[in-house]
Structures are given as structure tokens and as C-alpha cells.
Amino acid sequence: MAPVEASAAATAAAPAAPEKAPAAADQAEAPDGGLDAPVLLAEGLTKRFGDRTVVDGISLRVGVGEIVGFLGPNGAGKSTSIAMLTGALRPDAGTVRVAGVDLAAEPRRAKRLIGVVPQEIALYPSLTARQNLRFFAGAYRLPAGLRRERIAWALDVVDLADRADDRVSAYSGGMQRRVNIAAALLHRPRLLFMDEPTVGVDAQSRNQIFEAVLRLRDELGMAVVYTSHYMPEVERLCDRFVVVDGGRVLAAGTHRELLRPLGEGLLEWAPTGAELARLPDGLEGLAARLARHGDLQVLPPSAGDGPATLRLRAGRMSDALHEVAQIAADHGIGLGGIRLGRPDLESLFLTLTGRHVRDGA
């Protein structure tokens, strides 16, 4: 994980006030052109660092009240994209419109509609949660008359009202994370970016974070762009997904749309070296026979596996299983190295990128 240039609160120790604090007013107040207009419309976002293009033409559309999972392995370009989408980093190319407001042309107006929960926690540990939120309310120039009420509301959303006057240094990682989320809510943004909000968070806090996201969507129609490495988590929470790697969008759609091309099911076979030796045509022959039943990947071995893992997205699982059983019976091979599964986001990831979502870059 690498720091993102100019990300407003990416330095963990000292929470910096946003340089150009958006003057916060009440929610709404945007020329969004009707209910169907997207709350976020980004096109062709590109960022180069030196001669490396780390975000390479990403486009993104988020509707009102939509929770979008922004997924990719380490170094995929998620945080850099978020920094550009939130006005913390200037893109080399591309445009961002927030509820119809052009971020480059009217940054203050656009930023007023956005909340950002940064990947790194940025709070004053020696202050209480409420004092931290007062700091942020001031930094965001929330009108004085609204501050008390908004701070109480944000604390309630993240379920910290009863601990609000304890010092943040006494909080668990999960509680600190929730204060960080509360800070991003004070001006009631239309669109909330959450960059890995559950890393290092205990199960209870994680559930409270999910509840908060759903409440914001249901009560305020807030849209959320949610970044995470935990696939089961985003499968539960998000309406739609955008999968990125190498700074590009590899796939986008609903769960059903994304998983449809994966076929009926997945069959993984990691035969041992001794098992392969019994096959007249070895790994190649085995791969050729399985490939008749769908799309086959030959993955390099991971720890504990045999020489390779054959990964089949089967068109008809029953036919594939029949073939596998036949091969095993003909050559006296055991079936212990076989795993069956339904397609899920993790398997989509492996299919698209050839690596697990949690592998390093």
C-alpha cells in the first residue's frame, strides 16, 4: 500500500484540515438535473507518476442511493482514483462531475457534496470523539448552529453516542475507524467514498459500519463508493461492482451480471506430481481434456498444492465431473485434490486478474 499524493487526510498522526475547506451547508443544493441523473459521473480518469500510468482511463457512474464496490488488488489504483474523484489529486486527463457539478471547474461546490473516509485513520488521539468531530466541523465550516446536532447525529449513525466523551486513544481500532466515518458525514454529503473502512476492524465494529452505510443509503439516499479487499463483505453490501487492476476497469455490473460469464460452476483440480506421472500425457493432456468442458486456466501452484492447479469454469458441471471421474478411475488417481465451487466475486477476480484479490501487487 502506498501513500496517495495530496490525499487530504492520508497522514495518520495529524489530521489536517482540508486545504480548501468546502463550505458546508445542508444536503442538496446541486443542479443535478433530475432524479435519474448520476450523483457521480467520471470519464477517462488518468494519472501518471513519472513514466508509470497508475490510473489509465477509468470511468465510473454512480446513481443516487447506490452502493458501489470499487474492487481491486493492492496497487490497482483504487486510492489514486478516489483522490482524483474527490478533488485531492488533479488528474492528467478525464473529467469528474458530482451531481452535475464539474469538479475541476467548481471544486468548492463539488466538494461540498462529497464525504471521504480515507484509508488511513486521521484523528487526534488525545481528544475525545466529540472533540475530534468539533475539529472537523470547524474545518468543514459547518454553520455554528448546526454543529451540535450534526455531531450528535453522526455519532449516532456510527453507534458511538455513549462513548463520545472518551479519548480516542482509549478506543479500539474499529471504534477509531467509526469516528473517522462520522467525521466524513458532518456536512451530509450526497456521495460518500469509503477507502478500506474495515481493515483492522473487529467483527462488531464491522457490522456497525455496514449498518451505518445502509442507514445512510436508506434514510438520506446517500450514494457510497466502497473499497475493500474482503469479497464476502462487499457481496453483502454493494448493489454494483467495478473491478479494477493495473489502473483499468476490468469489469463492471451487478453481482448477477458479473458472474454470468463464469458458467455454472467452478472445478479446481490440483493433482500431485505422482498423480500426474500416471497420466500418459501429463498435465498437458489433462488440461486438454478438461478444456472441452469450459474455460480452463492453468494456475501456478500456491503453497501446499501440487505442480499446478487446473481451474475450469464449466459450462455443464455434470459433464465435467463425469470426465474427471473417468480420468481418475482409468489411471488410479484419487479425487482428493478436487474442489468444487459456485462462482463468486473472489473467483471472478481470479479469472480476470489471474491472482487473488488479497495477493500483493
Positions that interact with ligand ATP (CB under 6 A): 1-2, 4-5, 49, 54, 72, 74-80, 119, 361
**Shortest distance in whole angstroms from residue 227 CB to ligand ATP:** 7
**Shortest distance in whole angstroms from residue 70 CB to ligand ATP:** 9
β-strands 265-269, 309-314 pairing: antiparallel
Instruction: For residue 138, count CB atoms less than 10 angstroms from its CB and return exposed for 0-12, middle for 13-18, buried for 19 or more.
Output: middle
Nearer to Mg ion by Cβ, of 119 and 309: the residue is: 119
Nearer to ligand ATP by Cβ, of 84 and 133: the residue is: 84
**Shortest distance in whole angstroms from residue 266 CB to Mg ion:** 28
Instruction: For residue 297, count CB atoms less than 10 angstroms from its CB and return exposed for 0-12, middle for 13-18, buried for 19 or more.
Output: middle
* Among ligand ATP, Mg ion, none, partner that 76 touches (CB below 5 to 8 angstroms by kind): ligand ATP
Beta bridge partners of 95: 43
H-helix or E-strand spanning residue 131? helix 129-139
Which residues are near Mg ion by CB under 5 A? 78-79
**Shortest distance in whole angstroms from residue 99 CB to ligand ATP:** 24
β-strands 40-49, 93-98 pairing: antiparallel
Give the whole-angstrom CA distance, residue 297 versus residue 309.
8
Nearer to Mg ion by Cβ, of 130 and 177: the residue is: 177
Q: 59 vs 212, 228, 262, CA distance in Å?
A: 27, 19, 24
* Among ligand ATP, Mg ion, none, partner that 104 touches (CB below 5 to 8 angstroms by kind): none
β-strands 52-62, 40-49 pairing: antiparallel
**Shortest distance in whole angstroms from residue 222 CB to ligand ATP:** 22
β-strands 223-227, 67-71 pairing: parallel
Give the whole-angstrom CA distance, residue 350 versus residue 302.
13
Q: For residue 353, give the 3-state DSSP assignment.
A: helix
Nearer to ligand ATP by Cβ, of 147 and 177: the residue is: 177
* Among ligand ATP, Mg ion, none, partner that 118 touches (CB below 5 to 8 angstroms by kind): none
**Shortest distance in whole angstroms from residue 225 CB to ligand ATP:** 13
Nearer to ligand ATP by Cβ, of 1 and 288: the residue is: 1
* Among Mg ion, ligand ATP, none, partner that 80 touches (CB below 5 to 8 angstroms by kind): ligand ATP
* Among ligand ATP, Mg ion, none, partner that 5 touches (CB below 5 to 8 angstroms by kind): ligand ATP
Nearer to ligand ATP by Cβ, of 4 and 151: the residue is: 4
Nearer to Mg ion by Cβ, of 78 and 289: the residue is: 78
**Shortest distance in whole angstroms from residue 82 CB to ligand ATP:** 8
Q: 86 vs 31, 109, 144, 199, CA distance in Å?
A: 18, 12, 25, 21
